[in-house]
């Protein structure tokens, strides 16, 4: 490890499990003081204890502006002004056609996946100004790059996050605050596992150039790069970490046979 974030205060939302927990551990290994924001209190407290003095858990419902105010104040009181925010928290609804999607489901998904990132950016900017610089990373999805049937609320929230990212990047660059977005695809996390996806999913060779699910740490490496001083001229960028999902299907349009099967004879 290179201690790229030595002494910096990093806030990761949805940090108690899945990709968020992987990001938290990687930031801590690079010298950061990490604030874990989540609503899963027991897992968040366990992870903070694992990190010792470098970790702190705060209860943070990202859809609630007051929770954001408390989380930022707690982070500053414990570790100092925030240098990095990773807007990682997100939820996905059960599959449904648009015509069958309840209003409350639509609003709940957007309140977490989109409003939560907006509230987060708004809350941390004053702290980053006190720090002298900052990096904000919004976690979108491969579903934010292509239409995804049966997932209108999720897909819409992830597409909208692209516009928020670019607008914030343009507004905040003059203050030495960078804002970027990543677009993970199939990642081994509790969210996807709860929906029936596994790392051995037999259908992935028809969807991905790299026919497997990613491990969370593979996403974390990109997160650390984009938030670090190695990426000081990168802002408003979109970074896919999806095994080629958004690039196109590896199944040729004139056949139903995946390339992997053709290569294997």
Give catalytic residue positions: 154
With H, G, I as helix, E, B as strand and everything else as coil, classify residue 237: coil
Is residue 58 within 8 A of residue 37, CB to CB? The reply is yes
CA gap 26, 232 in Å, rounded: 19
Of residues 9, 142, 160, the one with CA closest to residue 85: 9
The position carrying tokens 């003059």 is 174
**Token pair of 195 as six digits:** 């929906």
Of residues 239, 240, 263, the one with CA closest to residue 251: 263
The position carrying tokens 């995804």 is 148
Which helix (H) or strand (E) segment holds residue 160: the answer is helix 152-172
Is residue 102 within 8 A of residue 94, CB to CB? The reply is no
Is residue 117 within 8 A of residue 169, CB to CB? The reply is no
Is residue 180 within 8 A of residue 197, CB to CB? The reply is no
Name the β-bridge partners of 238.
181
């Amino acid at each position: 490890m290179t201690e790229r974030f030595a002494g910096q205060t990093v806030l990761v939302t949805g940090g108690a499990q899945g990709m968020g927990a992987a990001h938290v551990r990687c930031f801590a290994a690079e010298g950061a003081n990490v604030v874990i924001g989540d609503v899963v209190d027991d897992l968040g407290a366990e992870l903070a204890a694992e990190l010792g003095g470098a970790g702190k858990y705060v209860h943070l419902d990202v859809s609630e502006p007051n929770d954001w105010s408390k989380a930022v104040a707690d982070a500053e009181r414990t570790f100092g002004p925030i240098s990095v925010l990773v807007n990682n928290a997100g939820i996905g609804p059960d599959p449904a056609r648009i015509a069958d999607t309840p209003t409350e489901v639509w609003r709940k998904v957007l309140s977490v996946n989109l409003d939560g990132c907006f509230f987060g950016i708004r809350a941390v900017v004053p702290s980053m100004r006190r720090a002298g610089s900052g990096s904000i990373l919004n976690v979108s999805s491969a579903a934010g790059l292509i239409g995804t049937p049966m997932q209108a609320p999720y897909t819409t929230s992830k597409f909208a996050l692209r516009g928020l990212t670019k607008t914030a990047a343009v507004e905040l660059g003059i203050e030495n605050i960078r804002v970027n977005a990543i677009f993970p695809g199939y990642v081994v996390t509790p969210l996807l596992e709860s929906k029936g996806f596994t790392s051995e999913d037999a259908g992935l060779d028809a969807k991905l150039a790299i026919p497997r699910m990613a491990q969370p740490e593979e996403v974390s490496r990109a997160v650390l790069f984009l938030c670090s001083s190695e990426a000081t001229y990168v802002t408003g960028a979109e970074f896919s970490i999806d095994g080629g999902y958004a690039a196109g299907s590896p199944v040729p349009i004139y056949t139903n046979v995946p390339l992997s099967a053709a290569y294997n004879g």
